[in-house]
Amino acid sequence: MSMETSTGAGRASWPLWEVFIRGKRGLNHVHVGSLHAADGEMALRNARDLYTRRNEGVSIWVVPSASITASSPDEKDPFFAPSGDKVYRHPTFYDIPDNVPHM
C-alpha cells in the first residue's frame, strides 16, 4: 500500500488517497489505485474522472493512504498462521458420498 510522502518545504502537495470501486451492485469495492487531492470531496470527484471514465463503477470509496494499516509481508507466515493450519474451514475437507445431491 502506498504511503503519503511529500511534505517538502515550500512544495504544497495534496495528500494521497487510495481509491476503491464497486464495479456493479452485488460486488465488493476493490482497490484500483491512488490519487492526490486536497480533501475527501475532491478525492471523490477526481476518482470519478480518473477511474470511472467508462462506467467502471457504481460506488466509490476514497481513504487517506496514511490511514491504512497493513500487514507486513515480512511477518507473512506468523501473521497468517492462524488460518494456515485450519483446513477444516474449507468445504473440500469433508468427504461426502457422490450420491448425496446439492451438497
Partner 1 sequence: MTATAPDAGLAEQFERTIARDQRVEPRDWMPEKFRATVIRQIAQHAHSEIIGMQPEGNWITRAPSLRRKAILLAKVQDEAGHGLYLYSACETLGADRTDLTERLITGRQKYSSIFNYPALTFADVGVIGWLVDGAAVCNQVPLCRSSYGPYARAMIRICKEESFHQRQGYELLMTMMSGTAGQRAMVQDAVDRWWWPVLMMFGPPDRESANTAQSMAWKIKRHTNDELRQRFVDMTVPQAEALGVTLPDPDLRWNPQRGAHDFGEVDWDEMKQVVAGNGPCNAERIAQRKAAHDGGAWVREAAAAHAAKKAGRERTVA
Q: Give the CA distances from residue 4 to residues 7, 18, 65, 84, in Å, rounded to whole numbers and listed in that order.
A: 9, 10, 6, 32
User: If binding is defined by CB under 8 A, does position 6 make contact with partner 1?
Assistant: yes
Under the binding rule (CB under 8 A), the answer on residue 78 touching partner 1 is no
Q: How many helices (H) and strands (E) does the chain have?
A: 2, 3
For partner 1, the closer of residues 6 and 86 by Cβ is 6
CA 79 to chain centre: 18
For partner 1, the closer CB: 5 or 59: 5
**Contacting residue, 26, 55, 69, 73, with partner 1 by CB under 8 A:** 73
Helix, strand, or coil here: 60?
A: strand
Q: Which of 9, 11, 87, 90 binds partner 1 (CB under 8 A)?
A: 11
Judged by CB under 8 A, the residue of 9, 28, 53, 83 near partner 1 is: 53
Q: Which residues contact 46 (CB under 8 A, 6 or more apart)?
A: 35, 36, 37
- Our finding on whether 20 is near partner 1 (CB under 8 A) is no
Which parts of this chain interact with partner 1 (CB under 8 A)?
1-3, 5-6, 8, 11-14, 16, 33-36, 38-39, 42, 50, 53-54, 70, 72-74
